[in-house]
């Protein structure tokens, strides 16, 4: 597994992947920041498309990512993560609505747990999931990072212009 860092407005993002695709994007903030595993190799040439597209995203010019992703998780987690990629840029949904969208209408808590295990933050936009009452709830990178991402997307979405 190779890794590199990407300087962003949220700090140095840890990008992880191999020939099968990107398997991780981790923020440097939150309760449990991820650090490179002992068997990972730093290669600052790795994941060039991810670095380019993240630059475009943070500059406000990219709304969707076109990358080969290889997240590691259970079949249910991968189903939840796939559903996250369907949430439009600049919009949010609740855990309950996300659960219903994948056919598990009583699965808000399970969806929340899977959402919290998303290994490819930002690109698989778990930050777009909020509480049913509109409150910001949990985010691996910390609530300030979640608020920043939502504000960034709102400012560049054209939805409120």
In this structure, what CATH number is given to the domain that contains residue 39? Answer: 3.30.160
Q: Which of 84, 114, 123, 126 is catalytic?
A: 126
Cα–Cα dist 147/35, whole Å = 23
CATH number at residue 106: 1.10.10.10
Domain assignment of residue 6, yes or no: yes
Classified as helix, coil or strand, 108 is helix
Q: Is residue 69 part of a domain?
A: no
CA-nearest of 2, 92, 100, 97 to 44 is: 2
The two structure tokens encoding residue 120: 């490819």
What share of the chain in percent tops pLDDT 70? 98
3-state secondary structure at position 142: coil
Quick: pLDDT tens for 74-101: 999 999 999 999 999 999 999 999 999 9
> Structural domain tally of the chain?
2
Is position 126 annotated as part of the catalytic site?
yes
Q: Where in the sequence is the domain holding 136, given as residue range(s)?
A: 75-157
Residue 70 lies in a domain: no
79 within a domain of the structure (yes/no): yes
pLDDT, tens digit, for every residue of 57-76?
A: 999 999 999 999 999 999 99
Is residue 160 pLDDT above 60, yes or no?
Answer: no
Sheet with 11-18, edge to edge strand ranges: 21-26, 11-18, 2-8, 41-42
pTM value surpassing 0.85 = yes
On whether both 88 and 152 belong to a single domain, the answer is yes
């Amino acid at each position: 597994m190779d890794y590199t860092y990407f300087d962003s407005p949220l700090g140095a993002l840890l990008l992880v992947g191999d020939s099968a695709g990107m398997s991780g994007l981790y923020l440097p903030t939150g309760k449990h920041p991820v650090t490179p595993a002992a068997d990972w190799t730093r290669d600052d040439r790795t994941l060039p498309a991810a670095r380019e597209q993240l630059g475009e995203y943070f500059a406000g010019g990219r709304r969707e990512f076109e990358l080969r992703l290889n997240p590691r998780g259970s079949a249910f987690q991968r189903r939840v993560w796939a559903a996250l990629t369907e949430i439009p840029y600049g919009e949010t949904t609740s855990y309950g609505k996300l659960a219903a969208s994948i056919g598990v209408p009583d699965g808000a808590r399970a969806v929340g747990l899977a959402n919290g295990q998303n290994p490819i933050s930002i690109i698989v936009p778990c930050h777009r999931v909020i509480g049913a009452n509109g409150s910001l709830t949990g985010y691996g990178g910390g609530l300030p990072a979640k608020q920043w991402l939502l504000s960034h997307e709102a400012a560049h979405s054209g939805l409120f212009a």
